[in-house]
Structures are given as structure tokens and as C-alpha cells.
Structure 1
Amino acid sequence: MPRYYFDVYDGQKLFRDEEGGVFDDRAAMRAEAMKVLPDIARDGIPQDGDRQSFTVRVRNERNLTIYTGTILFSGLWLDDSANTEQKVY
């Protein structure tokens, strides 16, 4: 069975997978990439930010990138009360 390596890029730093994982086929590898992205995002979105993306790049045993997936978090305040303090006159 082939071994695949899941490198993660958080927009600033690349975290390279040195161990990898063994999967029955490419579909199982893709399913794993789709599974890990939300977990990575859940733990990696900064508390003081409203935009963050995470990309997983999957390499095969020959060190070739064969699959990528990206998840994006984008938050937007819809009122101005979060951005300014209420003024009392």
C-alpha cells in the first residue's frame, strides 16, 4: 500500500509531514485530507483574526504533490458596535 505525506500550510508557515500514512487507495487518502482540514482549522484560527486559510498538500512516496485541499475561515462583523465603544452624550 502506498504511503502519503500531509503537509499543512497556514498562510505563514509550512508544517511538513515526515511520517506520512498508509492508505488503501487515492480515494482513502483524499478522504483523510478532507477529514483533517476542519480539525486543523478548528484549532488554528487565531482569536484576534477573521480571515485564515489552511491548505493540505499531499505528497506521494516520490515526493510529488498529488492532491491539495484548502479550507477558509472568513468572519465579518455586520454592525459597528463591535468596532467602536458606545458614546454617551
Structure 2
Amino acid sequence: MPKYYFDVENGHGHESDDIGSEHQTLESVGLHIGKILTDIARDEIPGTHSARIIVRARDEQGNHVGKGRLSFETEW
């Protein structure tokens, strides 16, 4: 099964995924991007007024295969 890597950018900088995870399809890769975004948002958004999180997926050859982005902002 192909392995994909999920790199994250957020307010704390850039984290490269050196471990990766196996996915049968690109649809599965996209769903995993969404899971990563929601997991990070749950941990980082409470207690902040704004956040921007980007997850980029790459295959074993380093080719970009997908991206997800989440932005959050409150005003009062």
C-alpha cells in the first residue's frame, strides 16, 4: 500500500512528517487531511482569536498530492 506524508503549517511553524501513513486511495488521503485539520483545531483554537492551519500531503517520491486549509477568526 502506498505511503503518504502530511506536513503541517500553523502558528507554531512548519512540521514535516517523517513517519507517514499508508492509504489505498487519494480519497483516503483527503479524508486523513480533514482528520488532521480537525484534530489540530480542537487542540489549538480554544483560547485564541484566530488560527490558520495548512496540511500538505506528499507521496513517497515527494510529489504534492493534496492540501487542506482551515482558517478561524472571531470578532467582537
TM-score after normalising by structure 1: 0.78
CA distance, structure 2, for counterparts of residue 41 and residue 54 of structure 1: 8
Structure 1: gaps (5+ residues): 78-89
Instruction: Please list, as runs of the form range in 1=range in 2, the aligned pairs for 1:48-59 lying within 5 A after superposition.
Output: 49-59=48-58
CA distance, structure 2, for counterparts of residue 46 and residue 8 of structure 1: 19
CA distance, structure 2, for counterparts of residue 46 and residue 53 of structure 1: 13
Deviations 1:42-83 (A, max 9, x none): 112362x31111000001101122111001111111xxxxxx
1 or 2 for the larger relative contact order (CA 8 Å, sep ≥6)?
Answer: 2
Deviations 1:3-33 (A, max 9, x none): 0001010045101100000011111111111
Are 1:3 and 2:3 counterparts? yes
Q: Rg larger in 1 or in 2? A: 1
Instruction: Please list, as runs of the form range in 1=range in 2, the aligned pairs for 1:41-52 lying within 5 A after superposition.
Output: 41-45=41-45, 47=47, 49-52=48-51
Instruction: Please list, as runs of the form range in 1=range in 2, the aligned pairs for 1:14-25 lying within 5 A after superposition.
Output: 14-25=14-25
Kindly tell me the number of residue pairs found equivalent between the two proteins: 76
Which stretches of structure 1, 4 residues or more, deviate above 2 A after TM superposition? none
Q: Calculate the aligned-residue CA RMSD, in Å.
A: 1.4
Shift of residue 38, structure 1, vs aligned partner: 1.1
Amino acid at match of 2:52: S
Structure 2: gaps (5+ residues): none
Which protein is richer in strand relative to its size?
2
Identity %: 34
